[in-house]
Structures are given as C-alpha cells and as structure tokens.
A and B are shown apart, each in its own frame.
Chain A
Amino acid sequence: MNGRIARLAVLFLSLSAAQAAAASASEPGSGGTRLEPFLARLAAGNEAKAVPPAPPFIAWDEEEAVRLRARVLLLREPEFDWRELRAACEGLSPSMEWEGEGREVAQAVIAWRDLPVIAELPGLRYLFRPPAGVPCAEVETEGLAGMLVPEFREACPGCAGVGSRIAILDKGFADYERFVGTELPEDLVVRSFFDSPEGNGDIGGGGEDHGVACAEIVHDIAPGARLYLVNVNTVLDLEKAVDWLIEEHVSVISHSLGWYFGNLEGIGPINDIADRAARSDILWVNSSGNEAERHTWTRWRDEDGDGSLEFDAAGDERLDFANLRTGQDLVLILLWDEWPIASATDLTLELVDEGDQVLASSEAYPFAYRYLAWTSTDGRPVAARVRRARGNMGSRAVHVFRVGSGVTMEEHARPDRSLLVPSDSPSVIAVGATYWMDETLDSYSSRGATDGSGPVKPELCAPVGVSTAIYGGGGFRGTSAAAPHVAGAAGLLVSSGIRGGFRDLQWTREELVTLLSKAAKPPSQINPPITPLAWGIVRLPTPAPAALRRAPTLLGNPTSGSVGWIGPCRDALILDCAGRAVARGRDGRWDGRDLGGRQAAPGIYWLSCDGSAAARIVWMGR
C-alpha cells in the first residue's frame, strides 16, 4: 500500500517535470530516448506534412495520421501499474483514446503533440509504433491433395472435425460473408481485435482477405469444425485475441502471419503469447515464413575490431545489393539475440554506397530490433552493414531480413534460421511449404537451424499452390497456405477421439502432436530431401500405409465421355479441387458419374489412387 502511495506521489510530482521536459524531448536527438525517433519527429512537426508510408510490419493508421494522431504502444516499468499510468496519461493528454492494456504494453491513440509529454512520464519506459504481423502469402496456383483426407474420412466415419474449434488468427477477413454457407461454414464465430484490444475492430482488416483463403482451406479439410475468424493488427491485439480464444476453449490456432519481433530462438513477446496458448492445451500451427531467400544471419564476429559485423570468415562487412532499380525501396530489418529488452548491447544498421559513404541509418529502439527503409534514387549498388554502438556482443546471433515481395538477399541469402516469429517457438508447430503435386520444397519457405544448435524446424511441410474461392483460379502459395492444411488436419484428429457414455474424449495438444508427427511422411522417404524437417510432410493416419505414391496416367485427352487410365491402381477415387471424394472409378475407367449416380458437373477433378498423387482431369461433362 505504502509503495503504491509512493508511486502515486512520484507520478504526481513528476507531472510538472514531465511537462517541462516535454519540449526538449520532442526535439529529435535531444534526449527523447523514451520516444521512438519517428514519433519524436512527428511531435516536432518535422514529418507532419508528408508522413512516409509505414512498412507492412509496423501498424500505422492513415486515418489517425490525418487527424495528427498515432496509435502507439506504451511499454511500462514493471513496478508501475496500468491504472495509475493511464490516469496520468489522460491528465497529460485529454484527447487520448486508451485502447487497452496487456501485461507489458498498453495501446492508445495519442495526438502527436502530446507524445513527448507522455514519454517523460515516470513509469513509462518507451513509446513506439506497434509491430504488426505480416501475411506469409504468395498467391500463384492451385491444388490440394496428398494428405490422405478421403482415406482418413472413409476409415474414420464421423471424423469430419465435429466438436473441434479452430481459430484462424489472421490480419483480415474482408468479404468473408460472401462465402458463408459455401466455402465457409454457416456456424462461424467472428471477432475482430484489429486495432481494438476490446475486440470490436474491423474484421475486414482494412481490406485484407488473406484470412478468408486460410479459413477456406481449414473448412475444406475439416468441414465439421467450428471456425473462429479472428483478426489482429498489433502485438496487443494478438495478446487480447489469444486470451479470448483460450477462454473459448479452441483446440487449434492457425496463424499464417509472421512477426519480426523476437530473438528468432523462441524468445520475445509474441513467443510469450504462443507459449501461453500452448499451456492452455491449444495446438498453435504457424506458417514458417517466406524469408529463406531474403534473410541472412551470422554470429557476431569482428576480427579486425573496427566495430562492424563481419558476415563471413573472410571478413566481408558488407551486404551488397547490386540489383536495385531507380525508385525501388530497400527495407531491411535487423534482429539480434537480446530480448525482451536490449539493455547491454546496441547495434546500428547502416546503408552505404560504394565509397562507404553512409546513405541511411536505423534508429534506436530499446529492443534488439532495428529497421531501415530507403529508396534508391539512381539504381546504383549499395550495401548494408551492421555496426556495434554499445556493449559486448559476444557470439550473439545477428539476423538481417530484406522485406518485400519478389526481393532477395542476393548472394548473401542464408535460408537456415530464417523462421519468422512465432514459428521459432518450441510451443508452435512451424509449417513449411511444399508444392502439392510433387511435394518439393518451395525455395522461399523459411526453415530453422541446421547446425543442431536449436530445435529442428519446421516440424511439418504442407501443400501450397492450392485453389481457394477468394483467390480464384490463381491459387494460394506461400507458407500461409501450408499452415491451414495442418490446422485442418489437426481439427480432423481432434474429432477422432474416443467416444464414451457421458464423455467424449478429445486428444490433448500433446496427443495431437504425437498423431501429426507419427502420421507424417518421414524425411527419410522424401526425395529430393528437405532439411531441416522434423516430422515430415503432413499426412493423416490411414488404416494401412499406402505402398505406392505414383499418380495414374490418363489415356488420351479425356475431357468428356469417360476417362481411362493406367497406373498404380485399377480402382481410384475422383476428388474435387478441395480433395473431397466425389466419385469412384473402377477397372481403369470413370464414366463421369458421381457417387450418387448423377452426372458430375463440369470442372477440374483429380484422379487419385492413394490420395497422395493424382492426375488432373479437365471434365467438360458428357
């Protein structure tokens, strides 16, 4: 009690000091170290007229910016409580909109001019724009097969996901209503935490439909599962959403977002959230990320002692970007291993030209996180380098990501340890991307350590290049498409427990892990090999292991009449594009009739002997 009074007194006495200090804090470089430099410049009016667009991994609300306000996260000192801090903040900034608080951070919309005053408040450690999750999607092609879904359903009647609750925790579900009752189940639970820790946000996520495609895949695999469509934008949104999902007793969370916010070895605020879900018996399935070709890392090394990181044993201190175009953005993120707060070390990410002239530098954060965004004005080659500003780096791991679609880290790319947060967490099932037809690893698919210094990840690979209604015939690629396949498989398994008299037993998280890991096609049977890969390519358990995984060969170009084939089987299943068995072919022939004896509708079908490999049929009808 005395401690609380003392803290209140400190707060009260400090308000005037905070007001006085505000003017100096608002000036960039004048000691406003508790305010993100970008926000300090906004407060000083330096960027008020033309705010540069925020990178996708930072939450930035344009509508608030028009009103000269910003959504920020407030990081507190551990000994202060949010009630006191909120009252103090409201005293300093009456127009502030407090959106909610979590364990470590609170979120509020604050007028730019009030930010320096609030930043000086005792008890607040740092104010910054919220990190945001980035969809791991690359939309390209289509296809779904290979998980042995039809065989599993046939062998396990009633195991269609009924009784399981699967949350698709994504950025946005724009236009989802259009698919309810067809591509999505009628019985949906929808809640938005997007910029709304209270859970009253915009389910559309500002026009993002990525979540709909993920939900479609889950529904295709586990049509009986109850789906929770939940979207988030910031770290605090995520924390609140997961708290709610724990209360709702969901069995599986499918999260096809990656965050650049943690040490990439399972430590950081996002990982804490995933760990909490796992402790609540939730299976968290996460896309591993699409960063394999736009990431590099090394352990800290500075043999020549000049303060610059050497990226290889030869002493190369430059990450060269030789293929820039005029007007092209170069966005880099630097992460190193000192989380949650980087109190002992400080690094700077610099961009230099060919003459080592510094073109741009990252700004300081209290986290082991820096970013740099720069636009090439002349297309000339540039290079990035990492400089030690403070502290002993020892042999800490240092990672650099290049952000953007279609870009690479050029010759410096290192796919190992390129997992995004939270797929790096031992509590999370990381899922990599294999093309559904030949089960080869997509080159962009992020993966874990290969030197045995960490857990082998991803745990599973799953099909990508699959079709969804929202992405149309173009298909859905990226590890974003892979994760919901595993989540759907887990949903089917949840519904396959033991049925008792008064209780139906559902598998626990650990049992689901056992089932998924043992049913997977093991790495030893995958050719070409995928490394690192812990469990294998996702499969559902089947009564007897299918011996042959060879696709049948169609005879001629059978688009109408009937379809003939040769191959590993004489009897085969005809699957629709979602992998559902719609017809059966016998003696090497399908007459175009579905399981009910009716004429099959024109469309794309797959002829499958064992569910893992299939021949594509373009069926025009009889």
Chain B
Amino acid sequence: MGKSMRAGRCAGMSRLAPSKVFVQALAVALLLSATPAAASIRFAGAPGIGYRFPIDSGLADLYGSAPSLHAAGEVLIEPLPFSTAVEVGYSWSKCDHAGAPFFVASAESKLQLVPIEILFRLPLRDGPLAPHAGVGLELLWIKESFRYKLLGEQGDRDAAGSLHPGLVLVAGAQRNRSPKLRLEGYASIVSAKKKVTRGETYEPSNAEKVNAGSLGLRIYWRLP
C-alpha cells in the first residue's frame, strides 16, 4: 500500500504541467533580458502570415493545409548571441467531408489552432540577408467543432479547446534592410490524445494519439 502511494507521488512530481514549463522558459528569458550587463536591449514586433501543412496524414486528409496569421514580440539583448521571441499564431481550416455514417446528411468540421511559442533564434551570420536557426517551446491550443445534419435535424457541437505542449524548430533568413522581412520555415512537434466529445463538459479519451504538429512557412514584417 505504502509502496504504491510513494510511487504515485513520485510519478505526480515528475510530471510537469506544460503551462508550467512554458512559464518557466518565459521567466528565464525575462531574467536574461534583465541582466545588468545588457549593454543594449531592443524590442521589436512583427506581424506575419504563413501557411501550414499538418504532419499527421489523418489530419492532412481531413483538413489539408491552411493559411495562418502570426504576431511576434521579440527582445534582443546585445551581449547575448540569440534573440528571444514570444509568438502567437492562428490557423483556421474547414472540412466538409468529416467521417460520418450514412444517416448523417452533411457533416462539416472546423479546426482552429493557436500556437503560442517562445523561440530562441540564433543568427548564423551577419549581413543584409542573415540566415538564422532557432528552437523553442510551443503550447498548441486546439479547438475542433462540428456542424451536421442528423436525420434532417441540424446539429452543432463546439468542443472545448485544449492545450498541448510541443517543440518548435525554425530556420530561415532575415533581410536587415528596409523593408525588414523575415522568412522562415518551421516544424512543430506536438502530440495530443484523440478525445471523444459527447457533451461540452467531458471528453473521455479513447487514447488514440494524434501528431498535432505541422510543417510551415511564414513571413514577418519586422517593425522597428
């Protein structure tokens, strides 16, 4: 009895909530930016657009690729070789051929993804066109909703959104002359458990795993 209780507690302690990891990473970045040795600290903002391709073939079959919107807030601290950015994206796609049984006249599903990232970018070379690579943590907010016609009656189901932790890798190049643009490709790796939606309040999982990550391309316009 005691043994199993201890084992349970250890297991609980070793599990870190994704939001906690994210906040800790953010705190490290802010601490770094507050370093007294910082000779100069520069802030930049960057709106962007992009296009994302699901890694998971099931998701790709359902939703395919989709455009995305991005917004980034970046901190550059002179002595540090990398920049730190907090970025938020939004992607929206629809599927009008969701897997539905024969007695459902029409089934449409909508997928909304909001990746929240903390990214560390390392310039690989200086110059008017500077290549960079970066790594970061991602919290992916997923919301999938359904609209269908069941035996002639219209139905709507808006499942609750959920957050999933992941990793994001970027590589690209930055134009350092006006207009200052950044073009980069990214790969995000996020695993989520597929869930079952009956009502809006609970969703017992059927334990099927889905790779919620994606490959993408995005371009930013860096504001001074």
Chain A residues within 8 Å of B, Cβ to Cβ: 155-156, 159, 163, 165, 249, 251, 281, 496-508, 511, 514-515, 518-519, 541, 543
Contact = CB atoms under 8 A, between A and B. Distances in A.
Contact of A500 (B98, B104, B198): B98
B99 to A, nearest CB: 4
A511 B198 CA distance: 10
Contact of B148 (A249, A498, A502, A506): A498
Given A155-B102, A156-B101, A498 B146 contact: yes
B91 interface: no
A508 B146 contact: no
Contacts of B202: 249
B142 interface: yes
B114 interface: no
A156 B102 contact: yes
B221 interface: no
Nearest to A159: B101
B198 A506 contact: yes
A498 B107 contact: yes
Contact of B102 (A499, A503, A543): A543
A505 B62 CA distance: 15
A498 B204 contact: no
A163 B203 CA distance: 11
Interface in B56-76: 56, 58-59, 62-63
B98 A498 contact: yes
Nearest to A494: B198
B194 A514 contact: no
Given A156-B101, A515-B150, A281 B109 contact: no
A161 to B, nearest CB: 13
Nearest to B194: A502
Interface stretch (B1-9, B77-85, B153-161): B153-161
Contact of B199 (A281, A498, A499, A503): A281
Interface residues of B, number: 40
A534 B208 CA distance: 39
B111 A501 contact: yes
B101 A496 contact: yes
Nearest to B159: A503
A496 B62 CA distance: 18
Contacts of B142: 502
A502 B144 CA distance: 7
Nearest to B98: A498
6 contacts: A156-B101, A159-B101, A249-B202, A508-B199, A511-B150, A541-B151
Interface string B107-122: 1010100000000000
Contact of B194 (A249, A498, A503, A519): A503
Given A505-B157, A514-B153, 19 more contacts: A249-B202, A496-B101, A498-B148, A500-B62, A500-B146, A501-B56, A501-B59, A502-B59, A503-B194, A503-B195, A504-B196, A504-B206, A508-B198, A514-B150, A515-B103, A518-B151, A519-B103, A541-B103, A543-B103
B168 interface: no
B21 interface: no
A502 B195 contact: yes
B100 interface: yes
A501 B63 contact: yes
A419 to B, nearest CB: 27
Contacts of A163: 196, 206
A266 B59 CA distance: 47
A105 B32 CA distance: 62
Contact of B197 (A156, A506, A511): A506
A379 B146 CA distance: 67
Interface string B134-147: 00000000101010
A159 B103 CA distance: 12
Given A511-B155, A514-B151, A501 B109 contact: yes
A236 to B, nearest CB: 26
B192 interface: yes
A501 B58 contact: yes
A165 B198 CA distance: 12
B56 to A, nearest CB: 8
A342 to B, nearest CB: 37
Contacts of B111: 500-502
Nearest to A247: B202
B212 interface: yes
Contact of B144 (A497, A503, A514): A503
A502 B192 contact: yes
A156 to B, nearest CB: 5
A507 B150 CA distance: 10
A249 B204 contact: yes
B151 A251 contact: no
Given A508-B199, A511-B150, A500 B144 contact: yes
B98 A499 contact: yes
B29 interface: no
A251 B199 CA distance: 11
Contacts of B189: none
A501 B103 contact: no
B217 interface: no
